[in-house]
Amino acid sequence: MENLWRAATRQDPNPEDYEGVDFWTNPERAGWLTKQGDYIKTWRRRWFVLKRGKLLWFKDPGSVTRTSAPRGVVSVDLCLTVKGAEDIVKKAFAFELSTRDSTMYFVADTGKDREDWINSIGRSIVQHSRSVTDSEVVDYDSKTRDLNCGRGRVFGRVAFVAVADITDAIAVTAGIAVVNFTLLIVYCGYSGFRQ
């Protein structure tokens, strides 16, 4: 029945979406997540693989072979945010992955798994994304920090902010940073700067 629904709604991923990604070997991250369906909002446990800027999912780890096709794929360069979503879906260890057009919800098995997935996807988004455009502006304002630099991407507890010729002091959990760089990457607990 599920395969019939997938065929009728054309949910099967296009092979061009994951062409050249050898997802069956040495993934950057792999493991179980429970994903909310796109149309029928049921929750299904799936095996996820993050590799070369693609988040792919399969029915189980046994279905990840050289000849298999994933049940779904998301190109992380299209993603704007990945962050906790327990308050939205009312499930422990939930997080969301958002593109300009949609938001997908996932539930990890533990809090550590959730943080590891958020961090891994966030790193992959930064590594594989094109530059931030004005239509993708994300202002980040929370109880623990206020970071509104005009251009940015928020990844749960990790904020990545594109900054151009700003010499203002920015207060973050890690402390005060004076920015003179074209790209500032701030992780909670420590800061890293790249020109």
Reply yes or no on whether the pLDDT at 38 is more than 50.
yes
- 71 residue type, one letter: R
Whole-structure pTM value:
0.63
- When pLDDT is averaged across residues 156-176 and rounded to a whole number, the result is 36
State the distance between the two ends of the chain, measured CA to CA, in whole angstroms.
Answer: 52
Higher pLDDT, 13 or 61: 61
Q: Are residues 121 and 145 in the same domain?
A: no
Q: What is the pLDDT of residues 70-107, one digit of tens each?
A: 999 999 999 999 999 999 999 999 999 999 999 999 99
Reply yes or no on whether the pLDDT at 10 is more than 80.
no
Higher pLDDT, 150 or 20: 20
Q: Of the residues 78, 109, 128, which one is the last residue of a structural domain?
A: 128
- When pLDDT is averaged across residues 180-192 and rounded to a whole number, the result is 36
CB 34 within 8 A of CB 43: yes
Reply yes or no on whether the pLDDT at 25 is more than 70.
yes
Q: Are residues 105 and 143 in the same domain?
A: no
The range of the structural domain enclosing residue 151 comes to 134-194
Q: Are residues 140 and 156 in the same domain?
A: yes
CB 126 within 8 A of CB 136: no
Separation of alpha carbons 172 and 113, rounded Å: 25
Q: Of the residues 78, 112, 128, which one is the last residue of a structural domain?
A: 128
Query: What CATH number should be reported for the domain holding residue 23?
Result: 2.30.29.30
Q: What angle do CA 73, 130, 104 make, to 5 degrees?
A: 35
CB 159 within 8 A of CB 191: no
Q: Are residues 17 and 111 in the same domain?
A: yes
- pLDDT-based confidence at residue 11 (cuts at 50, 70, 90): low
Q: State the DSSP H helix or E strand holding residue 112, giving kind and residue range, or none if neither.
A: helix 111-128
Q: What is the pLDDT of residues 40-68, one digit of tens each?
A: 899 999 999 999 999 999 999 999 999 99
Q: What is the pLDDT of residues 106-162, one digit of tens each?
A: 999 999 999 999 999 999 998 887 544 444 444 444 433 434 333 444 444 444 443
